[in-house]
Amino acid sequence: MTAGPPEPYVWRAGWPARVAAAGSCLLFVVLAERPHGGTLADPRPGAVFFAVWTSLVAGWLCCRVGLWRITADRDGVHIRRMWAVTFLPWSRIGRAELRRDGLLEFVGATEIPLAGLFAPSWADRLARRRGAGVRAAQVLTEMARSPGLRPQVRAGRAATGSAFAHRALPLAVAVFAAAECIHR
């Protein structure tokens, strides 16, 4: 039996995803149309709530696209999410599949979490290449079925990352403030 790699496997958003996330925040700030009374200069509770809520969604979306991370170590898979890093032990994973929308789905777990945000398989076919999502699903499935292929060490906090709420909430405040300044 072959020994697994000495370090945990880590898949994360690359620079194209980070550029897309920053671009989506910029587009939101520039193109978002606030409802009448949705600014702090002339506040109306419902309109301000809507403006704050859409800024929170924009911050979450930006972090979801630009900060996702999946880490596989000897004990299981760590999935970075909004409020916490979700852990799936290998015993609960039957296989991993890349869905049509580019998310990894872990089949066999009681609650099937979705992870990552890879290029969808149809986009990889258009580019005539085998994408990172397909490779990640294949590697994770092989590790779930063969304990000898799993990494030999436990991932530390630096490898698993932390929930991205501590970045999404300040980003939402910055997006709200930027839109407030631009749309006066």
The DSSP result for 134-157, as a single string, is HHHHHHHHHHHH-GGGS-SS---H
pLDDT over 80 (residue 183)? no
pLDDT of residue 39: 67
Same domain, yes or no, for 21 and 54?
Answer: yes
For residue 22, tell me if it sits in a domain: yes
Same domain, yes or no, for 156 and 131?
Answer: yes
Q: Given strand 85-89, what is the order of strands in its sheet?
A: 9-12, 69-72, 76-80, 85-89
Same domain, yes or no, for 96 and 126?
Answer: yes
Same domain, yes or no, for 146 and 156?
Answer: yes
Same domain, yes or no, for 49 and 92?
Answer: no
Which domain covers residue 27, as residue numbers? 15-67+164-184
Number of domains in the chain: 2
Q: What is the 3-state secondary structure (H, E, C) of 82-131?
A: CCCEEEEEHHHCCEEEECCCCCEEEECECCCCEECCCCCHHHHHHHCCCC
Same domain, yes or no, for 93 and 157?
Answer: yes
Same domain, yes or no, for 61 and 75?
Answer: no
Question: How many Cβ atoms are within 10 Å of 146's Cβ, its own excluded?
Answer: 12
pLDDT of residue 129: 72
Q: Which of 120, 20, 108 is nearest to 64 (CA)?
A: 20
Categorise residue 163: left if φ over 0, alpha if ψ from -120 to 50, beta otherwise: beta
pLDDT of residue 23: 93
For residue 1, tell me if it sits in a domain: no
For residue 8, tell me if it sits in a domain: no
pLDDT over 70 (residue 1)? no
Same domain, yes or no, for 142 and 180?
Answer: no
Average pLDDT over residues 135-164: 86
For residue 128, tell me if it sits in a domain: yes
Residue with tokens 């300040």: 170
For residue 10, tell me if it sits in a domain: no
For residue 20, tell me if it sits in a domain: yes
pLDDT band at 170 (very low <50, low <70, confident <90, very high): very high
Distance CA 183, CA 52 (A): 14
What are the pLDDT digits (tens) for 90-136?
988 888 988 888 888 888 866 677 787 887 777 777 777 777 888 88
Distance CA 112, CA 139 (A): 18
pLDDT of residue 32: 80
For residue 104, tell me if it sits in a domain: yes
Same domain, yes or no, for 40 and 123?
Answer: no
What are the pLDDT digits (tens) for 6-54?
889 999 888 888 999 999 999 988 888 777 766 666 777 777 888 888 8
For residue 41, tell me if it sits in a domain: yes
